[in-house]
Amino acid sequence: MAKSRSGTRGRRGPRKPVRRDLNGQGVAAQVAEPRERGAIELPSTITVKDLADLLDVNPADVIRELIKSGIFANINQGIDRETASLVAEELGFETAEAAPVGVAANTDGSSAETAPVSAATKEQLYEEDDPSLLQPRAPIVTVMGHVDHGKTSLLDAIRTTKVAAGERGGITQHIGASEVVKDGRHIVFLDTPGHEAFTAMRARGAKVTDIAIVVVAADDGVMPQTLEAIDHSRAAKVPIIIALNKIDKPDANPDKVKNELAEAGVVVEEYGGDVPMVPVSAKARLGLDELLEMINLVADLQELKANPKRPAIGTIVEAELDKGRGPVATALVQTGTLRVGDVIVVGETYGKVRALENAAGKRITKAGPSSPAVVLGLADVPQAGDILRVVDDEKTARTMVEERKAATAARSEGTGKTTLEDLYAQIQAGQTKELRIILKADVSGSLGAIVHALQQLSTEEVRINVIHEGAGDITDNDIMLASASNAIVVGFNTKVTDTARRASESEKVDVRLYDIIYKLTDDISAALRGMLEPEMVETVEGRAEVRQIFRVGKSAVIAGCYVTDGRIVRGGGARIWRGGRIVLTDRIEGLRRFRDDVREVATNFECGISLAGSNDIVEGDIIECFTQQMVSRAAR
């Protein structure tokens, strides 16, 4: 690495430095007198892309140096001046301190205010401000947990008993966030509590939640989605509060829940851990005050603050196209104050705020930190998780949106996601120190053995980290968690749902399916050594339902089938599904339509199917036809 930095990659000769704002725009005239070769002025905060532009190097070089220092940042993430200076010095440049963020030098030496800039996470947003300007803000809470454990009931109980009074106090089901008041302090609850939405927003670079409440039913215990909620909260590094719901039921067993949580690595305070647990009953309205008090206590420990006097930065919670009002977005202001008339940039769209509405549906003129507000005036409908930011004028907004669209088009050419194919190259380049894996298996009993086998593969260069494991099919929720965490998805004796398959294609997430443990571990091990062999890629051609069984001779069996999906191909592989499980795998040897042998049968047609090596077929079975071909790893 040292040799590379001393060569031409790190610097490309003397160049006249241009100071840019954090959007990559030149905000001032070029410096009148050129500095020494490589001398760069650095603001207090700068994105990876802008630092690469200032140094005139590839952004991958900057990211590589950050990772060597233990900092995992994407191209649009902000870093502080000290970190940027270290990276620049490693690449062979001298650095100098620039004017403070938000102030740019004019040609006459005076200063001019520039538009404030959003970083990828709320912590970085707040670090931009002078500490003396920061004021306490309300915590933002997300409620997650297993189906039927009472998430919605708990939210409804809290909202109906602790509605905020006055202008900020109304609650409506049609806004993505709501406010309540406890002891004169506001608490904001996101009304999209599922961890799917939680992770989808994080996958887009937004970190909105300050506290995660995981609801567990006292009469049911820890369930698969409970574990998912815990894993999603941990991946986002969000403090957890356990809400032990349904404690009023006669079969409630709190001790059982605490033990199961401990087995999952969540040790409650009663057992000497650091995770608070509050017994509640949404139906009987028990423990609600205690839960709100705990939220305020955890919020106090985080010292949540924001600067209400700066232009607003926030995150889109939900958005839709209203026939009468046009694009309507629910924004959660995280710092600054959003006002009617402000020009805003949201993701790849922009507009001028025509109107603001609070949670009660009443028109307001401004929204401060930790305030949810409905925003009208955008040109297009943004996506959940997009960052909202106030800029100086519409010309600046238009330029920023055009640049973002161009950057999105450029990124689509290269996914930037972790795959087994490029893992070895990333290790060699110092870009990867941890391989994150989402693991799904057919039964929970297989998970422990697979996790243990994977952990044995960790090396000095890269550590294997299974950030989530569970039994069942691979779902779109697994894909979104992998996308947010830059992980790969590994399935053992399980399948990918149709929605998950589409999500993996759109999110460019690497999904691997195995039916033998040693093949799974061999692939991971080979990837770590850069020795992946060409692999057999499977394509599901179609499915047919067995309607009738015909016996020919003493042993031959022909299944009379109806093709429900895709096509059935003679010579293709066959998986027999019975009662939701695979009972055997074989090959389709014979395929007939009436008395004719055919090569394939399409959807909505009947056919006769005979297998090559088994006659274990019964009425009601589903025959899944698949084909396989050898594909180079680099070609995938």
pLDDT digits (tens, 9 = 90+) for 595-615: 888 999 999 999 999 998 888
Task: Clarify whether 210 is annotated catalytic.
Answer: no
262 vs 82, more confident: 262
Q: What is the pLDDT of residue 339?
A: 93
Which of these is catalytic: 122, 146, 151, 258?
Answer: 151
Mean pLDDT of the chain: 77
Q: Which pTM value belongs to this model?
A: 0.52
For 287, left (φ over 0), alpha (ψ -120 to 50), or beta? left
Q: Decide if 128 contacts 389 (C-beta within 8 A).
A: no
Q: What are the structural domains of the chain?
A: 2-114 (no CATH), 135-305 (3.40.50.300), 313-387 (2.40.30.10), 420-533 (3.40.50.10050), 538-630 (2.40.30.10)
Q: Work out the percent of the chain whose per-residue pLDDT is above 90.
A: 22
Task: Clarify whether 182 is annotated catalytic.
Answer: no
Q: How confident is the model at residue 238 (pLDDT cuts 50, 70, 90)?
A: confident
Q: What is the pLDDT of residue 415?
A: 45
3-class SS string, 142-211: EEEECCCCCHHHHHHHHHHHCECCHHHCCCCCCCCEEEEEECCEEEEEECCCCHHHHHHHHHCCCCCCCE
Q: How confident is the model at residue 71 (pLDDT cuts 50, 70, 90)?
A: confident
Of 188-192, 210-214, 344-348, 356-360, where does mean pLDDT reach its minimum? 188-192
Strand 240-245 relative to strand 277-279: parallel, antiparallel, unpaired? Answer: parallel
Which of these is catalytic: 195, 207, 246, 258?
Answer: 195
For 416-454, how does the pLDDT look when each residue is reduced to its tens digit (9 = 90+)?
A: 566 676 666 666 666 656 788 899 987 766 777 788 788
Which of these is catalytic: 16, 148, 174, 499?
Answer: 148
Residue 293 host element (H or E) = helix 288-302
Q: How confident is the model at residue 151 (pLDDT cuts 50, 70, 90)?
A: confident
Q: Decide if 569 contacts 627 (C-beta within 8 A).
A: yes
Task: Clarify whether 151 is annotated catalytic.
Answer: yes
**In the predicted model, what is the mean pLDDT of residues 461-487?**
82
Task: Clarify whether 149 is annotated catalytic.
Answer: no
For 505-563, how does the pLDDT look when each residue is reduced to its tens digit (9 = 90+)?
A: 888 888 988 888 888 888 888 777 665 555 677 888 999 999 999 888 777 889 999 99
Strand 622-631 relative to strand 535-552: parallel, antiparallel, unpaired? Answer: antiparallel
Which of these is catalytic: 53, 56, 68, 152?
Answer: 152
Q: How confident is the model at residue 316 (pLDDT cuts 50, 70, 90)?
A: confident
Most confident among 111-115, 154-158, 333-337 (mean pLDDT):
333-337
- Is the pLDDT at 242 greater than 60? The verdict is yes
Distance CA 390, CA 401 (A): 13
